[in-house]
Structure 1
Amino acid sequence: MADDLRALEDWAGALLSKLQPSERRTLNQSIARTLRRNQQQRIAAQRNPDGTPFAPRKARQPLRAKQGRVKRQMFNKLRQAKHLKLQSTASSIAIGFMQRTARLARVHQYGLRDRPGRNAPDVQYAKRELLGFTDADLDVIRDQLLQHLIP
């Protein structure tokens, strides 16, 4: 995957260097918005970038005996635009989580240990890749570059 990204960067670098900075910034903003939308959809579908499903939540003991089951989706609020920020300049695109949500996302992204509550014991979280490039994302980047350069 990294080799594909490097090849795309080398190919597009020469073409983008001929554009004015304002045109590059506009193109980068468009690509960043599309990538963020793809990341949000993938997180909502509970999929890793390689297409495998997220590891399921750890089973908890029921707080009370009740009929039925409450099924909540993971990272429901985390994928909102107010948490999943994008920054784009004429030379770069950055999509990521900021401030307090960055810590939570990092724990799940790499499968680290964390303490879920103030007095709770440490918990080993399963690896759930929230951010990452899929093959479709690389195709979208290439297509948007070509669409912008060849009207």
Structure 2
Amino acid sequence: MTSKLEALETWASGPLEQLQPSARNQLARSIGQELRRSQQKRVLTQQNPDGSKFAPRKKRDLRGKQGRIRRKVEMFKKLRTATYMKARGDSNAVTVGFTGRVARIARVHQFGLKDRAERSAPEVRYETREVLGLTETDINLIRDSLLTHLTT
């Protein structure tokens, strides 16, 4: 995967250097937005970049005090919104990532680190769930965006 990304980078470096900085900024922003959309769709389907499903949540008691069963909420529902998942692009780079406190939550799940669910809760090791990552379709999306921008 990284070799394909490096090959794409070396292939695109020549034509990108010939573009004006404003055109590179515009291209980087559009690629960043498309990458964010693809990441949002992948998180919605609860899949890692390699196509495997996210590790399931631990079983919990879903009954409240009144005896009602709460509905199960999908993982990372708010995390995938544009409020938290930001796409940035300038003349040198394109980044898709998280901002603020949710960046810590995403990092814990991305790398399977230890964290506390609440302040007084015990420390728990979370399963690895790759919230951000490039797939083959993402690399093809980047390549196609570059080609359409350079040919127009």
Deviation at 1:30, TM superposition (A): 0.6
What amino acid is the match of 2:50?
D
Matching residue of 1:16: 16
Deviation at 1:118, TM superposition (A): 1.0
Q: Does 1:98 align with 2:116?
A: no
Identity of aligned residues (%): 49
Q: Which runs of 5 or more residues in structure 1 are unaligned?
A: none
Matching residue of 1:48: 48
Matching residue of 1:4: 4
Between the aligned partners of 1:95 and 1:5, the Cα distance in structure 2 is 16
Between the aligned partners of 1:88 and 1:67, the Cα distance in structure 2 is 46
Is contact 2:63-2:70 (8 Å) kept? no
What amino acid is the match of 2:118?
G
What amino acid is the match of 1:132?
G
Judge which range, 55-64 or 11-20, deviates more.
Answer: 55-64
Deviation at 1:68, TM superposition (A): 6.6
What TM-score does the superposition give when structure 1 sets the normalisation length?
0.95
Matching residue of 1:80: 81
Between the aligned partners of 1:80 and 1:130, the Cα distance in structure 2 is 13
Aligned to 1:42, the other structure's residue is in SS state helix
The within-5 A match list for 1:135-146 is 135-146=136-147
What TM-score does the superposition give when structure 2 sets the normalisation length?
0.94
Between the aligned partners of 1:67 and 1:99, the Cα distance in structure 2 is 34
Matching residue of 2:32: 32
CA gap of 1:69–1:33, structure 2 versus 1, over 3 A, is same
Q: Which runs of 5 or more residues in structure 2 are unaligned?
A: none
Between the aligned partners of 2:132 and 2:81, the Cα distance in structure 1 is 13
1:53-81 residue CA offsets vs partner (Å, 9 max, x unmatched): 00000011343596877221100000000
Q: For this pair of structures, how many residues does the alignment match?
A: 151
